[in-house]
Amino acid sequence: MRDKNIAANVFTYSSIIKSLVKEAKPEESYKVLEEMMAAGCNPDVFAFNGVMQGFARSNNMEKAREVYQHMVESGYKPDNVSYHILIHGLAKIGKLDESLKILSEMVMRGQTPSMQAYSSLVRALAKARRVDHASSLFDEMIRGGHHPDRLMFYELILGLCQAGKVKDASERFKQMPKHGCQPNVPVYNVLLHGLCSSGQLEQANTLFAEMKSHSCSPDVVTYNTLLDAVCKARRVEEGCKLFEAMRAAGYVPNVITFSTLIHGLCRTGELEKALEVFGSMLEAGCKPNKYTYTTLISGLCRAEKVIQARELFEKMTQACIPPDAVAYNSLIAGYCKRGSMDEAEKLYREMSGGAGLQPTIVTFNTLIDGFCKLGKLGRANELVAEMGTKGLAADSCTYRILIAGLSRATKLDEALEVYKQMREKKFLLDPVSCVSFVGGLCKTGNIDQAYAVFEATRKSGAVPNPETFRILSESLIKLGRVEDAQKLMEPAKARDITAQ
């Protein structure tokens, strides 16, 4: 009778623990477990596991381990479930080394790790980019007689691709059928993305063809991934064919599809085609996003179609899509290119005022360059000062722009002072700015300084272009310094650079 009462009490306590765990009250369930033991009722492993599970679900693995330790010290032998709770819980919160220790302890105590235990760890290690460890554990699991499921393969292939180990990912992909797993669309997509990201476009195309031949229908993500890769490789004609094949297969292109193709077309200068695709996008009822608009605005400005770019900019704001700094900078550059500095400045004021955007170094450099090219050096210098009030420091591009502008205006003393500041900051002239600076110095008779600038540029590793060689060598010859001119040309001949 007493035994029956004890059994009833054990059952009652266990039921209460189970209910509290279901209600996400792990602390209360632990108290009941302790009361149960104090009352002389010996809990079974299931009761301990229940309390551990409660703490694990709330990510309180410190408490879960405390319960585990209590169980071991009380003479109970943890079972597979006990270990899996700890392994999975620790892996979930990123404590992978602790989780691995539990796995080792499990084996040492004579327990065979379950498929679930391995799965938790392999997936967590792969997500943490510890792919070598994940692969090793994956192989250990197979040797132990377990067959990985498709999700495990997916996580491992994803981790390997993210770590740049696409070849290893491809090998794992090939193993899938041997373990009764046929790759599905997500698995194909992740490997396809890995191949595309690593520049293996031909292999990606082969995988795409294989996918279709295995009756695994590509989805929009598949097409978008491949489209992005071919467009980045400037194989835009191929991208257009892929786009049409996607539509012919019954898939509806989304904003990513349209934007990717538009960007590819703009990059290769096929602006009219890009605008056609944009028109198709609107007709299809697909709303452009910030990236779509910005891509087209940039493309139009590069093609000096600033009025069209401004119209699109206005449509963007009307669509309640606030232009970002890239859109503003593109339009400012477009106006600067055509010398419309009033419009460019208006946009700059709008950007830092009503739009609430912080002008970037690109914004300032574009404006400074625009004013320098118009000979408005005073305004250019004001912008340099204004840039400092915005917390931005002049970069190498700023200095090059100023030197080129001052050289064109034959203000060589000022240009030399800016050059001195530039050298102090360890910035270097590029071949283009070197031409204007050396040319300006030569015109004003500062040959020695021109030669010094030329040599400093050459020694920095930037190869002056043929025009710089021509200007400087002709100036030296006019002064009768033929030997210096010949010395100047020797490195040029060695580099196969000819002054014309």
- State mean pLDDT over 355-359: 89
| Per-residue pLDDT reduced to its tens digit, 15-26 | 888 888 788 887
Residues 150/118, Cβ–Cβ less than 8 Å: no
Reply yes or no on whether the pLDDT at 493 is more than 60. Answer: no
Instruction: Please give the domain boundaries of the chain with CATH numbers for all domains.
Output: 424-500 (1.25.40.10)
What is the structure's pLDDT at 402?
A: 95
* Secondary structure of residue 148 in the 3-state scheme: coil
- State mean pLDDT over 81-106: 91
Reply yes or no on whether the pLDDT at 107 is more than 90. Answer: no
Residues 102/121, Cβ–Cβ less than 8 Å: no
pTM, two decimals, is 0.81
| Per-residue pLDDT reduced to its tens digit, 403-416 | 999 999 999 999 99
Residues 390/357, Cβ–Cβ less than 8 Å: no
Residues 453/438, Cβ–Cβ less than 8 Å: yes
The candidate with the shortest Cα–Cα distance to 170, out of 186, 158, 185, is 158
| Per-residue pLDDT reduced to its tens digit, 450-466 | 888 888 888 887 777 88
374: DSSP letter: T
Reply yes or no on whether the pLDDT at 212 is more than 60. Answer: yes
| Per-residue pLDDT reduced to its tens digit, 118-129 | 888 998 999 888
What is the structure's pLDDT at 1?
A: 29
Residue type for position 35: E
Locate all alpha helices (DSSP H) within 39-178, ordered by sequence: 45-57, 61-73, 80-92, 96-108, 115-127, 131-143, 150-162, 166-175
| Per-residue pLDDT reduced to its tens digit, 312-335 | 999 999 999 999 999 999 999 999
| Per-residue pLDDT reduced to its tens digit, 18-59 | 888 788 887 888 888 888 887 777 788 888 888 888 889 888
The overall longest dimension of the chain from CA atoms, in Å, is 124
Residues 141/148, Cβ–Cβ less than 8 Å: yes
Give the C-alpha distances (Å, rounded to integers) separating 431 from 35, 158, 265, 365, 455: 82, 44, 30, 18, 12
What is the structure's pLDDT at 354?
A: 78
Which pairs with CB-CB distance under 8 Å and at least 24 residues apart come from 464-468? Answer: 464/431, 464/434, 464/435, 464/438, 465/431, 465/432, 465/434, 465/435, 465/497, 466/492, 466/497, 466/498, 466/499, 466/500, 467/435, 467/499, 467/500, 468/431, 468/434, 468/435, 468/438, 468/439
**Which two three-digit tokens encode residue 49?**
């596991």
Reply yes or no on whether the pLDDT at 248 is more than 70. Answer: yes
Other CB atoms within a 10 A radius of the CB of residue 61 amount to: 22
Residue type for position 299: G
Give the C-alpha distances (Å, rounded to integers) separating 266 from 26, 324, 338: 58, 19, 20
Reply yes or no on whether the pLDDT at 383 is more than 80. Answer: yes
What is the structure's pLDDT at 7?
A: 47
Residues 350/344, Cβ–Cβ less than 8 Å: no
The candidate with the shortest Cα–Cα distance to 383, out of 345, 429, 438, is 345
